[in-house]
């Protein structure tokens, strides 16, 4: 017999208000920063350069400098790490979606794409697992791999086989926006 879902009205209300206030406080804490808006050409050129398929979900894309991205990453990594991994409910694909969504929600930047890849041992080349993480594209058209599940590390990438720490990421496809 399926058990009826119970949601505490008070806890839901307090939790919702807490999240709304937190997002608003993060938005208010940031100063204006330089953002360039353009069509998908810049982010699509990254996908072509990396030799991967891409799906664009927006019509206009907002880019910022790598220095600004470092500040965004510094704010978001602790938030993202606070959500515990649950392999059946909340894992890498959910986290990559959350990373992209928080960048758009808080910083109004939609150039943190989700990327599907195969992770291999960087030394032996042996396949370890399939994985979702993120790719950032900055105003210069440079791309950076961001894997919150791998200690929140980032690495500039120029080829399809990006090496970060002990892992080699063979990029397969990307969802942008």
* CATH number of the domain where residue 171 is located: 3.30.460.70
Q: Is residue 134 part of a domain?
A: yes
Q: β-strand 161-164 against 127-137: which pairing, if any?
A: unpaired
Mean pLDDT in consecutive groups of 10 residues from the start of the chain, 177 residues: 84 87 85 84 88 88 94 93 84 94 93 96 96 95 93 91 93 91
Q: Is residue 24 part of a domain?
A: no
Q: Is residue 145 part of a domain?
A: yes
- Per the structure, the count of domains in the chain is 1
Q: Is residue 13 part of a domain?
A: no
Q: Is residue 26 part of a domain?
A: no
User: Which residues form the domain of 92?
Assistant: 32-176
User: What CA–CA distance (Å, rounded) separates 131 from 94?
Assistant: 11
Q: Is residue 16 part of a domain?
A: no
Nearest Cα residue to 82 out of 101, 98, 97:
98
Torsion over CA: 24, 26, 31, 37 (sign): negative
Q: Is residue 100 part of a domain?
A: yes
Record the pTM: 0.87
Position 168 scores a pLDDT of 96
CB 107 within 8 A of CB 72: yes
């Amino acid at each position: 017999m399926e058990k009826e879902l119970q949601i505490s009205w008070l806890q839901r209300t307090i939790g919702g208000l807490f999240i709304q206030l937190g997002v608003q406080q993060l938005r208010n804490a940031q100063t204006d920063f330089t953002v360039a808006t353009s069509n998908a050409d810049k982010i699509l050129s990254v996908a072509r350069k990396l030799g991967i398929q891409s799906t664009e979900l927006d019509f206009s894309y907002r880019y910022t400098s790598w220095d600004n991205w470092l500040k965004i990453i510094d704010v978001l990594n602790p938030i993202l790490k606070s959500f515990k991994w649950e392999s059946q409910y909340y894992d890498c694909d959910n986290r990559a979606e959350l990373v992209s969504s928080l960048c758009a929600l808080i910083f109004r930047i939609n150039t943190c794409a989700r990327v599907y890849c195969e992770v291999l041992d960087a030394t032996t080349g042996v396949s370890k697992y399939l994985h979702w993480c993120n790719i950032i594209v900055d105003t210069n058209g440079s791309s950076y791999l961001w894997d919150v599940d791998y200690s929140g590390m980032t690495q500039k990438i120029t080829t399809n086989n990006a090496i970060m720490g002990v892992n080699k990421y063979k990029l397969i496809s990307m969802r942008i926006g």
